Copies of this chain bind each other. A is one copy, B any other.
Amino acid sequence: MMKKIFQYIDDHRDEYLSLLKEFCAQPSISTTHTGIEEMVRMVSETMRSVNVEPEIIPTAGNPMLYGELKGTGKRVLGFYNHYDVQPPEPLDEWKSDPFKPEIRDGKMYARGVSDNKGSLLARICAVDAWQKVYGQLPLNLRFVYEGEEEVGSPHLAWFAETYPEKIKTDGFIWEGGERYIDGPLQISLGVKGMCYLELRVRTAAMDAHSKHAAIIPNPAWRLVHALSTMKDRNDKILIENFYDKMDKVTGQDREYLRNLYYNEESIKNRMQIGSFINNLTGIDLLEKLLYEPTCNIAGIHSGYTGQGSKTVLPCTASVKMDIRLIPQQDPEEIAELVRKHLRKHGFEDIEVVQLSGMHPFRTNPDNPLAQTAFACAEEVYGIKPAIYRNAPGTTAMYRFCHKQNLPVLMFGVSNEASQNHAPNENIYVEDYFQGIKMITAVLKKFAGF
């Protein structure tokens, strides 16, 4: 049966590619509010082209779009995507205009082609192909599109809470998802959480001449000493009770790692690093990457940091830390553990401000949608998928899914070198067509599971 629809997709490559070009030619930059209205109109028209009546849901920011499609079966599948993109800067590093999609060596280059207009359209095109080949869908669909993913999804939790019936499904296919170049599709079952903190210390009302440094406290030294109590040189996090609530890594979790490809040499070469933290390699490296939390210094600042020298004793210092979490770590609790830790170590003068928090989220791999996707990926790509118990990054998945405990999967049409958020963002054209086929396979299999 899939043969017929796969043939239809192959016969309509030009049409589906034109649609992708059109989408990518339309800027839709949420940070700068560029082209949002035009993009919403384009998405609406495209939804209508597959018989989905778009409902435009205003928010305090950019509107969301929602649509439903009734099928013959009972199963309900949701698609979550976003129509906004990152700003294209730095422009001079692009080999072609970020908003004039260009195909070179089998790849389409454009801002948003990977993140995530390619995946958004692969799902639409799959529905189109199904309708053209078989008519009505075999299951019910829900389309949820937001326009603020690149600015932190500020209204996604609100949407999920305000319209629980709109997201009530048997599972969602999320945005994101890569394929290894010449390798299997990656399917992620979750994400790490995030506790983003800023630690601030002020030691005096004003900066002073550094000749006073012998007797007036220095905030940068305070911060250095405080931070040195929070993580050791072997990357072990020393915040008391930090690791207590983490789900244990199971045998199955580790088993998944065996099927992941991670080209250590290529990453070391590209980043020009001699070795990974603690000289880890292989399964141990992947276990740390995926199953361990982080405590990253994203930024630190105090005093004079321009050219040359200035002999100043600063009065303030601050550090930005993003702490990625593993289920069941809770961002608010982690922030409180940091506060408690600092107090215990005599740093009660250091203020801890939580800038954002996202819970980690994982879907049970035994649920029908996950099992469906695993089987379809092998069928479509001819090789068992690489299953990520969770991706190393973070999305607002928990806010959307946790109340109804929705199963959720991440897979799509990007690859390891898709350059999301960076110049020369791209996808393989072939991955786009494969992605359309993958969705049609899921539609069929999930309907009859």
Q: Is the CB of B294 within 8 A of A210?
A: yes
Instruction: Quote the shortest CB–CB distance from A326 to chain B (angstroms).
Output: 10
Number of interface residues of A (CB under 8 A): 75
| A112 at the B interface (CB under 8 A) | no
Task: Please give, as numbers and ranges, the residues of chain B lying within 8 Å of A317 by CB-CB distance.
Answer: 300
Q: Is the CB of A215 within 8 A of B277?
A: yes
The yes or no answer to A58 lying at the interface (CB within 8 A) is no
- Whether the Cβ atoms of A271 and B205 lie closer than 8 Å is yes
Please report the C-alpha to C-alpha distance between residue A194 and residue B311 in the assembled complex, in whole angstroms. Answer: 10
Q: Which of A192, A214, A293 has the most CB of B within 10 A?
A: A214
Copies of this chain, how many? 2
Q: Which residues of B contact A393 (CB under 8 A)?
A: 209, 211
- CA–CA, A288 and B216, complex, Å: 11
Q: Which of B285, B298, B346 contacts A312 (CB 8 A)?
A: B298
Interface pick from A126-134, A217-225, A424-432: A217-225
Q: How far is the CB of A339 from chain B (nearest CB, A)?
A: 18
Task: Write out the residue numbers on chain B whose beta carbons fall within 8 Å of the beta carbon of A322.
Answer: 210, 213, 309, 311
- Asked whether any CB of chain B lies closer than 8 Å to the CB of A389, the reply is no
Binds B, one of A61-69, A84-92, A100-108, A226-234: A226-234
Chain B's closest residue to A269 (CB) is: B205
* Least distance between A340 CB and chain B CB atoms (Å): 19
Do residues A294 and B224 form an inter-chain contact, with CB atoms below 8 A? no
Partner of A298, one of B295, B298, B309, B346: B309
* CB proximity of A307 to chain B, nearest CB, Å: 10
Q: Mark A292-310, 1 if CB is under 8 A from B, else 0.
A: 1111111111111100111
CB-defined contacts of A204 to chain B, threshold 8 Å: 271-273
Encoded as 1 (CB less than 8 Å from any B CB) or 0, chain A from 305 to 338 comes to 1001111111001111010100000000000000
In the bound complex, CA of A292 to CA of B203 (Å): 21
Q: Is A405 an interface residue (CB 8 A)?
A: no
Complex CA distance for A276 and B313, rounded to whole angstroms: 14
Do the beta carbons of A301 and B298 come within 8 Å of each other? no
Question: Are B216 and A297 in contact (CB-based, < 8 A)?
Answer: no
A270: B residues at CB distance < 8 A: 205
From B224, B296, B309, B346, A297 is in contact (CB under 8 Å) with B224
Known: A211-B392, A214-B277, A214-B294. A299 touches B271 (CB 8 A): no
Residue A371 interfacial (CB < 8 Å): no
Taken together as a complex, chains A and B put the C-alpha atoms of A391 and B346 apart, in Å, by 33
Q: Mark A69-101, 1 if CB is under 8 A from B, else 0.
A: 000000000000000000000000000000000
Q: Is A383 an interface residue (CB 8 A)?
A: no
Q: Which residues of B contact A446 (CB under 8 A)?
A: none
Out of B221, B233, B288, B312, which one reaches A214, CB within 8 Å?
B288
A264 to chain B, nearest CB (A): 9
Closest chain-B Cβ to A220's Cβ sits at a distance in Å of 4
- Chain A 329-368 against B: per-residue CB contact (8 Å), 1 yes, 0 no? 0000000000000000010000000011000000000000
Cβ-based interface call for A206 (8 A): yes
Closest B residue by C-beta to A295: B213
Q: Which A270-286 residues sit within 8 Å CB-CB of chain B? A: 270-273, 276-277, 280, 285
**A215 to B295 alpha-carbon distance, docked (Å):** 11
| CB-contacts of A175-196 with B (<8 A) | 192, 194, 196
Task: Let me know if A289 is at the binding interface, CB within 8 A.
Answer: yes
Contact pick for A305, options B276, B299, B311, CB 8 Å: B299
Cβ contact within 8 Å between B324 and A211: yes
Beyond the given A213-B296, A300-B301, A305-B318, please list 8 additional residue pairs across the A-B interface where CB-CB is below 8 A. Answer: A204-B271, A205-B271, A212-B392, A214-B392, A215-B289, A217-B276, A224-B224, A298-B304
A contact residues vs B (CB 8 Å cutoff): 192, 194, 196, 198, 203-206, 208-218, 220-221, 224-225, 227-228, 231-233, 235, 270-273, 276-277, 280, 285, 288-290, 292-305, 308-314, 317-320, 322, 324, 346, 355-356, 391-394, 421
Closest A-B pairs by Cβ, 8 of them: A228-B228, A299-B303, A213-B296, A205-B272, A220-B297, A301-B305, A211-B393, A213-B294
